[in-house]
């Protein structure tokens, strides 16, 4: 099996040498005290929803809480769920501005996910909704307990799965052909694990003006 653990480092930014993807990580974009403060505020103030999704003719609860914020008109069809973008609260607007500055990409929506315990998860998928445009850059901020996040190539069986343990305050950027050629997931775990929040900042080109 090929090794994927090749990084190049420029300042605080580490870049993975992944085939067919541009994946970068800032391990400590926010320091632990700031990250903890943001986690508490977002956990208590965001409009978390328990959505349901269609499965085998029934609507079953999604194994996580989620909510969408974004620019006006940036509504999002996500895993068969029509989500309406709520207006940006001040803290999310501030995070967006800082993340746009460091990554050099523009983001118009953010999907917030809350994984309450090890039974919460998101299965293998790519974020390839057409409304995001080709080769979308997606920035993922982790807050709360350390989060296992995995990537695997869609077509190349010779490449091993990449398992990352994302600490609170870390920022992961998935860009280039990542959503065309790779899948990602947050697996369930039987190990005790605390609450985790993930904010995925995304472009959106399909907005009404």
Q: Which residues bind ligand AKG (CB under 6 A)?
A: 111, 113, 122, 127, 140, 149, 184, 186, 198, 200
Residue 127 in the binding site for Mn ion (CB under 5 A): yes
Close Cβ partners of 90 (under 8 Å, ≥ 6 residues apart): none
In the stretch 87-126, what mask flags binding to Mn ion with x, by CB under 5 A?
A: ----------------------------------------
Q: Backbone phi, then psi, for 19, in 5-degree steps? A: -65, 140
Close Cβ partners of 133 (under 8 Å, ≥ 6 residues apart): 203, 205
Which is closer to ligand AKG, CB of 1 or CB of 135? 135
Which is closer to ligand AKG, CB of 4 or CB of 148? 148
* Binds 170: which of ligand AKG, Mn ion, none (CB < 5-8 Å by kind): none
Decide: helix, strand or coil at residue 184.
Answer: strand
| CA-to-CA dists, residue 93 to 56, 67, 75, 90, angstroms | 38, 15, 17, 5
Q: What separation, in Å, do the N-terminal and C-terminal C-alpha atoms of the chain show? A: 48
Which is closer to ligand AKG, CB of 4 or CB of 143? 143
d(C-alpha 172, C-alpha 18), whole Å: 14
Shortest Cβ 57–Mn ion spacing (Å): 25
Shortest Cβ 125–Mn ion spacing (Å): 6
Residue 129 in the binding site for Mn ion (CB under 5 A): no
Which is closer to Mn ion, CB of 20 or CB of 127? 127
């Amino acid at each position: 099996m090929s090794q994927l653990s090749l990084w190049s480092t420029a300042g605080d930014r580490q870049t993975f040498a992944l085939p067919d993807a541009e994946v970068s990580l800032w391990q400590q974009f926010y320091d632990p005290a700031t990250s903890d403060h943001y986690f508490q505020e977002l956990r208590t103030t965001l409009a978390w929803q328990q959505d349901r999704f269609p499965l085998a003719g029934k609507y079953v609860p999604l194994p996580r809480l989620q909510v969408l914020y974004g620019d006006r008109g940036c509504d999002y069809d996500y895993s068969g769920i029509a989500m309406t973008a709520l207006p940006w609260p001040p803290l999310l607007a501030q995070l967006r501005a800082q993340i746009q500055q460091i990554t050099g990409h523009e983001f118009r929506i953010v999907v917030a996910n809350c994984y309450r315990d090890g039974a919460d998860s998101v299965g293998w998928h790519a974020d390839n909704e057409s409304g995001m445009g080709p080769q979308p850059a997606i920035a993922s901020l982790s807050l709360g307990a350390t989060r296992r996040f995995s990537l695997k190539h869609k077509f190349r069986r010779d490449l091993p799965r990449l398992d990352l343990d994302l600490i609170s305050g870390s920022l992961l950027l998935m860009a280039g052909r990542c959503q065309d050629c790779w899948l990602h997931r947050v697996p369930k775990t039987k190990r005790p694990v605390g609450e985790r929040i993930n904010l995925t900042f995304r472009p959106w080109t399909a907005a009404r003006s």
